[in-house]
A = this chain, B = another copy of it.
Amino acid sequence: MAKATREKRDKQFGKWFRQMLIDAEILDYRYPIKGCGVWMPYGYKIRRLVTQLLRQLHDGTGHDEVQFPVMVTETNLRKEAEHIRDFENEVFWITHGGLKALEIKFALRPTSETAMYPMLRLWIRSHSDLPKKLYQIGSVFRCETKTTRPIIRVREVTTFKEAHTCHATFEESEAQILEATQIYKGFFDACGVPYVISRRPEWDKFPGAFYSLSFDVIMPDGRTLQSGTVHNLGQNFSRAFDIQYETLGGDHEYIWQTCYGISERAIGALISVHGDDNGIVLMPDLAPIQIVIIPIPSKENPQTILDTCREVADELRSEGFRISIDRREDLTPGAKFYYWELRGVPVRLEIGPKDVSRRQVIIVRRDTFQKEACKIADLPKGMRRLMNDMSDALRDKARKWMESRVHRVATLDEAAKLLKCRAGIVELPWCGDAKCGHIIEERVNAKLLGTQAGSEERTHGGCAICEKKARGLVRAAVAY
């Protein structure tokens, strides 16, 4: 195992990220098609835990998992006018089956509204079929014209969890937006990944939506990553796809819809936010291996050491921990430390001859590298506490770091200066007019993430451009 120089996370974030993906065996991006990566065994195990968490959160709130086909007919893709306008330039088209041209082209779904909604039309008849809350986890495809980056901007998004809900009234759809926001907050909190939620400006909402909310995460290089979105679709799609229901009174009304999505970008954020110069650092709940045991060899009693390792492993496994003993004989303990630190295993236990005789182990924590001895008898309880402490510490550290990267400013100059050196997010007062919004984007050379919900009341003074009364704080950032 060659010990390559590791990139520093904060100095060369892009390089560090790519190196982590391949060195920690998460995702191999050398696939022969641009923008497509291969989930490797260790990465897939992280992906499993993340999708399991998403499933728990959705199942637990009455969502049903389904799976729709990957191909969509051109006719259906074109039904909602704004939707196709935005996606047209990045849809992959299937034109041939075998050696024959297809009569009608199929698109690889860029997102699944146009696959799902013709079926919802068949499934929804009356008010008793509502609400309907569905979700699926699968691939969506975009022939990205921008620079692709593994996990962050890809052509096959492999892990798109998209939920789609149907309601009888606008009010119920608004209540669903709140539930969706709560689910996503719960998800990112479990990942220990801090975020800001913004209402996207009109010109940047999801194509076909009434409005869009976004969860944005600040990456170590100061750029933001859109990591989850929640859309109220109003009746735009139900009108385009003619999805009506019969009310209690016998009338026919179009349904109200919402949709919300999270992709593998969340895994990208998870890795980036907690990682350090030694590798990735995993939240204990999302670590495929939570505890690795390294036997420290001794010439005198190698068997006793291995026996103790096994005893400790069995005990902790029976307590529900995911655990592994590294018994490789061709590696030194130091090389093993390096190997598992890189892969972000939360806790390392070292067991050497002295530890065996003292009935103890040495515990090393991945985030702080703190070392301490612990009696074997106290291990289960101690591990539980340590995992909780570490989860809290990672979450807190990430939150504090993010808070220091959100800057409330009064002028465009301040904003431009901060964004030029990738200082994170700036917030400034805005009248809400698109014209002023576009001027801000141009002057600060960044993107408006949108307005902070509830900032209307708290904002005093005038718009940073026109000086008319500000209608809220708008956030700007250099976004991925």
A139 B44 Cβ-Cβ under 8 A: no
A325 within 8 A of B: no
A134-178 CB mask vs B (1 if < 8 Å, else 0) is 100001010101000000000010100000000000000000000
- Tell me if A118 counts as interface (CB < 8 A to partner B): yes
- Contact present for A33 and B94 (CB under 8 Å): no
Q: Is the CB of A93 within 8 A of B96?
A: yes
On chain B, the residues within 8 Å of A99 by CB distance are: 88-89
Query: Counting CB contacts under 8 A, is A76 at the interface?
Result: yes
A36 touches B66 (CB 8 A): no
Nearest residue (CB) in B for A128 is B330
- Chain B residue contacts of A31, Cβ below 8 A: 68-69, 115, 118-119
Chain B CB within 8 A of A190 CB = no
Given contacts A65-B44, A71-B36, contact A92 B94 (CB under 8 A): yes
Does the CB pair B97–A143 fall under 8 Å? yes
List chain B residues, Cβ under 8 A from A145: 98
Which A residues from 75 to 113 make CB contacts under 8 A with B? 75-76, 88-99, 106, 108
Residues of B within 8 A of A4 (CB): none
The listed residue (B65, B66, B69, B122) touching A156 by CB distance below 8 A is B69
Contact of A69 (CB < 8 Å), options: B36, B64, B66, B68: B36
Looking at the assembled complex, report how far the CB atom of A354 sits from the nearest CB atom of chain B, in whole angstroms.
32
Task: Please determine whether B33 and A73 come into contact, CB atoms closer than 8 angstroms.
Answer: yes
Check if A119 sits within 8 Å of B88, measured CB to CB: no
| A41 and B72 alpha carbons, distance in the complex (Å) | 20
Interface residues of A in 19-74 (CB under 8 A from B): 28, 30-33, 36-41, 44-45, 47-48, 64-73
Beta-carbon contact of A28 and B90 below 8 Å: no
Q: A36-B71, A37-B69 are in contact. Are A92 and B97 (CB under 8 A)?
A: yes
Give the number of chain A interface residues (Cβ < 8 Å). Answer: 53
Contacts of A122 in B (CB 8 A): 28, 30
How many Å lie between the Cα of A88 and that of B38 in the bound state? Answer: 25
A38→B96 contact, CB < 8 A: no
Per DSSP, are chain A's interface residues mostly helix, strand or loop, or mixed?
A: mixed
Taken together as a complex, chains A and B put the C-alpha atoms of A38 and B106 apart, in Å, by 17
- In the bound complex, residues from chain B placing their C-beta under 8 Å from that of A65 are 41, 44-45, 48
A123: B residues at CB distance < 8 A? 28
Are B39 and A156 in contact, with the CB atoms below 8 A? no
CA of A75 to CA of B33, assembled, Å? 11
Which of chain A's residues 243-300 have a Cβ closer than 8 Å to chain B? none
Residue pair A67, B88 in contact (C-beta under 8 Å): no
CB distance from A142 to the nearest CB of B (A): 9
CB of A113 to closest CB in B, whole Å: 14
Q: How far does the alpha carbon of A139 sit from the alpha carbon of B122 in the complex, in Å?
A: 25
Bits for A383-403, please: 1 = Cβ < 8 Å to B, else 0: 000000000000000000000
Known contacts A33-B73, A119-B30: does B90 contact A93 (CB below 8 Å)? no
Give complex CA distance A96, B74 in Å: 13
CB pair B158–A67 under 8 Å, yes or no, is yes
Complex: A31 Cα to B32 Cα, angstroms: 32
CA distance A64 to B44 in the complex (A): 9
**CB neighbours of A97 from chain B (8 A):** 90-93, 143
The one of B44, B69, B72 that contacts A67, using a Cβ cutoff of 8 Å: B44
| Contact of A44 (CB < 8 Å), options: B28, B38, B45, B66 | B66
Most chain B CB within a 10 A radius of its CB, from A33, A41, A48, A118 = A33
Cα distance, A99 to B40, chains bound together (Å): 33
Q: Would B98 and A88 count as touching, CB distance under 8 A?
A: yes
| Residues of A in contact with B (beta carbons under 8 Å apart) | 28, 30-33, 36-41, 44-45, 47-48, 64-73, 75-76, 88-99, 106, 108, 115, 118-119, 122-123, 134, 139, 141, 143, 145, 156, 158
The 3 closest A-B pairs by CB, nearest first: A97-B143, A41-B64, A36-B69
List 9 contacting pairs A-B, 8 Å CB cutoff, sorted by A: A32-B73, A33-B69, A37-B69, A41-B65, A48-B65, A70-B141, A90-B97, A93-B94, A95-B95
